[in-house]
Amino acid sequence: MPCFGAFLLLASCALAQSPLEPVNRALPSWLRFSGELGGRYEGFLAGGFQRNNDDLYLLSRVRFDMRIKPTSWLQFRFETQDARVHWKTQKPYGAPFQDTWNLRLAYVTVGDFDKGPVSLLVGRQALVYGDERLVGQSNWANTARTFDAARVRFRYRKVRLDVFAASVVVLRDGQLGEVTAANNLHGIYARFENAIPHSTVEPYVFWRLARLARTESGAAGSLDVKTTGVRWAGKISETVDYNIEVAIQRGGVGRDRVAAWAGHWLMGHTFRNVTWKPRVLGEYNYGSGDSDSKDGRQETFDQLYPTAHDKYGLVDQVGWKNIHHFRTGADWTASPKFGFGLKFNAFWLADAHDGLYSTGSAQLARDTTGRSGRFVGTELDGTAVWSPAKSVRTGIGLGHLFPGSFVKRTTPGHGYTAPYLFVSYFF
């Protein structure tokens, strides 16, 4: 893997000094440059749960960032990105694996967006809210995700409120990226710190509008759906943490009615007086499914635009749609620079008449009769991350999904394996 070896060499060089440090020191304080160089060797074995359907490939990504801040209340930011895939079987290459040149970020900020009472951010930007289960930048994807958006942020003491209107950027290899007309996401997202002691409460409403959606009968219709929810995260004590999120969807697609919901519940305990300070966790995720694909009532939860990698298993074959997901495991911090984790997952369909959906919302299998059962399978995941320097991060991971009765009856039924090895260098 000569390309990956080059990334390792560059990352090792980074331990000394970023190549942009002397440049930034020579520039005026209102102009700064930074960047990212990353590579990840990954793939899958038994894609589609089919024997000998394997694909291993190398992802590379280069980002170059420029920030201009002429005053304390005005900032411009621009970021270009070159994302490529090498040796992948499936062609032609495109997002989310490749976009050989893209203007990833291009926005202006008026006011102090991090601390000011009122601020405005307009242009191409990343939207990141909560755990990113519904709206995030999906940075694990090689091309990642951005929006053309306008955001207003209000802040008073420990209360923050964002109001935004956005359209997701659709990437085409070698082009700037563009939005699809009449495909919009609007939102209101609030954040209350310590309204409940030692916690953060985040209520929100996301309003998705699109023209070219499909009803259950196959007819074209306009989509108009609101997702209303709340996230509550914090600590019960110094060693016990929790994270809860519940969202309800109501609206319509043409003549169809939408009625769906999802939930996330997690509790963790850190053993501070034990070697490597293990944190054990218990987690349950639910996403509603559709009991009848022809009744004019859409009940499958829509994940919107999530950062979903490793939220429902490391192999990303299960998303927050029509699922019961149980997870337990532990993470160990061997040192400030090295940590590793082991997780066990178990999956069942929420409704046997609906399908299995990936983290990208693709339907992988379905039996509308419901006769294939609900048990999707179990999954074992292992990860390790090492940060030898502030500017370098490396990691390795391996996940395997053992198929259950539903997967065996609706697909070829072989176990799905996903390995990866990555290195990232920030300069």
CA-to-CA distance for 289 and 355, rounded, in angstroms? 8
Inform me whether the pLDDT recorded for 52 exceeds 80: yes
Q: CA 224 → CA 90, 183, 214, 217, distances in Å?
A: 34, 10, 12, 17
CB-CB contact of 85 with 3 (8 Å)? no
Alpha-carbon gap, residue 355 to 304, rounded angstroms: 17
C-alpha to C-alpha distance for 389 and 336, rounded to whole angstroms: 11
CA distance 159 to 189: 11
In order of 24, 88, 205, 248, 354, the CA distances from 350 in angstroms are 54, 34, 24, 16, 8
Q: How confident is the model at residue 2 (pLDDT cuts 50, 70, 90)?
A: very low
Question: Can you give the pLDDT at residue 203?
Answer: 98
> What is the residue-wise DSSP string for 163-180?
EEEEEEEEP-TTS--EEP
DSSP state of 124: E
**Topology annotation, domain 2-426:** Porin (2.40.160)
Token pair of 229 as six digits: 């929810």
> Residue 12: what pLDDT?
52
Tell me, what's the pLDDT at 295?
Answer: 94
Would you state the pLDDT for residue 53?
96
Contact predicate 427/34, CB 8 Å: yes
Kindly list the domain boundaries of the chain, sorted by start residue: 2-426
Note whether 360 and 350 are within 8 A (CB): no
- Using the predicted structure, report yes or no on whether residue 334 has a pLDDT greater than 70: yes
pLDDT at 19: 81
CA atoms of 74 and 121, how far apart (whole Å): 10
According to DSSP, residue 364 is labeled: E
Establish whether the linkage from the previous residue to 19 is cis, with ω within 30° of 0: no
User: Each residue of 225-266: pLDDT tens digit?
Assistant: 999 999 999 999 999 999 999 999 999 999 999 999 999 999
pLDDT (tens digit, 9 = 90+) per residue, 155-205?
999 999 999 999 999 998 888 888 988 899 999 999 999 999 999 999 999
What six digits make up the tokens of 358?
């990936």
Q: Rounded CA gap, 41 and 59, in Å?
A: 6
pLDDT tens-digit profile of 281-311?
999 999 999 999 999 999 999 999 999 999 9
State the pLDDT confidence band at 1, using cuts at 50, 70 and 90.
Answer: very low
For residue 377, give both structure tokens. 């399978």
Mean pLDDT of 136-142: 97
* pLDDT at res. 405: 98
% of the chain beyond a pLDDT of 70? 96
